[in-house]
Amino acid sequence: MRVLAALSGGVDSAVAAARAKDAGHDVTAVHLAMSKYSAASTDGRSRGCCTASDANDARRVADALSIPFYVWDVREVFESKVVQQFRDSYASGETPNPCVRCNEFVKFDYVLKRAVALGFEGLVTGHYAQIKQGVNGAELHRGLDESKDQSYVLAVMRSDDLSSVLFPVGSSLKTEVRSEADARGFAVSTKPDSYDICFIPSGDTKSWLKKELGTNSGAVVNHRTGELVGTHDGVHTLTVGQRRGLNLDQSKGPFYVTSLDAKTNTATVGLVNDLDSYEFVVESVNWLASPTTIGEAGGAFCVQIRAHHRPVAGKVTSTDGHQVQISFREPVRGLAPGQSAVWYSGTRVIGCGTIAKRESAGDGRKSSH
């Protein structure tokens, strides 16, 4: 096939492009210039993405593979669909995952559509996930390397796009990918993985949000008593599950943020058990398998509520085409509105959605699971 390989400047996308070429595909490389906020790190690790250094690393890989190389400026769509949504979500008292939104709106919407319009038959990336052919077509599965699996942040892909995407490193361990990059002579073979939020190169999300959204003093109240126990600088400076930096009397705690109300600019805190939930509602549902899968499986799936969260057995009940309810026999801890919930059947991604609200186990509610 004639494919477009997205080269980030890192080791995974480099090996992915090389494997695509080895497989006989006609490969063209593209580097995405996404964030105006990116900056080089000063601690020896890679913060952010799309720096001039990253672009140069990507170009060197393309040169080594003797494939065409281009840079696409996608800063406008990245700003509007990822960064602005990040601001808006925090301002609403939610905890967003920008990597999910970037995959949804930039890499597997804008870039894939543009690639197809230019005559490419597929998009190659260095994600740790696998596309497998099932009875009804292409399926998204976890990557072989459990510690690097990225199926959680890829679950927002549309089912129709799965047949147009290649994940050449998804069936390998990270150590194998680095060894292969070294054997191929890629200088990025020892390049550290990027981490944190790419458009906040300092790694200080709270300070970035204060700069972008300002401060707005509000009340901190006790979840169980309703008592005023402190103040905060704005719900956008907090996240559900947070314990550090609350400036509270912790002698009767420790206290954690249990919920945020943007309308009243109120933060509620409680004890660690108050973070437990038996059920929650998911909105903006995206199905990578037919919704009828729920009935076929009796609603029983493994549910992952954070990128590095251990999947938990749960029951998924569809309420309509855009919303589902998920419940558990045992409580799960730290559900944060704005985060993604992804449900799996074995290694296969069945669907995902955005956590909208939760019921606290501390309120006395129990799951009907």
Q: What are the residue numbers of the active site?
A: 102, 198
Q: What is the Cα–Cα distance from 27 to 5, expressed in whole angstroms?
A: 7
3-state secondary structure of 196: coil
Burial of 307 (0-12, 13-18, 19+ CB in 10 A): middle
Cα dist from 327 to 115, 318, 322, 365, whole Å: 40, 12, 17, 11
333: left (phi over 0), alpha (psi -120 to 50) or beta: beta
Closest CA to 328 of 339, 319, 340, 317: 317
- Cβ within 8 Å of residue 353, ≥6 positions away: 282, 283, 284, 285, 286, 323, 324, 340, 341
Are 21 and 199 a contacting pair, CB within 8 Å? no
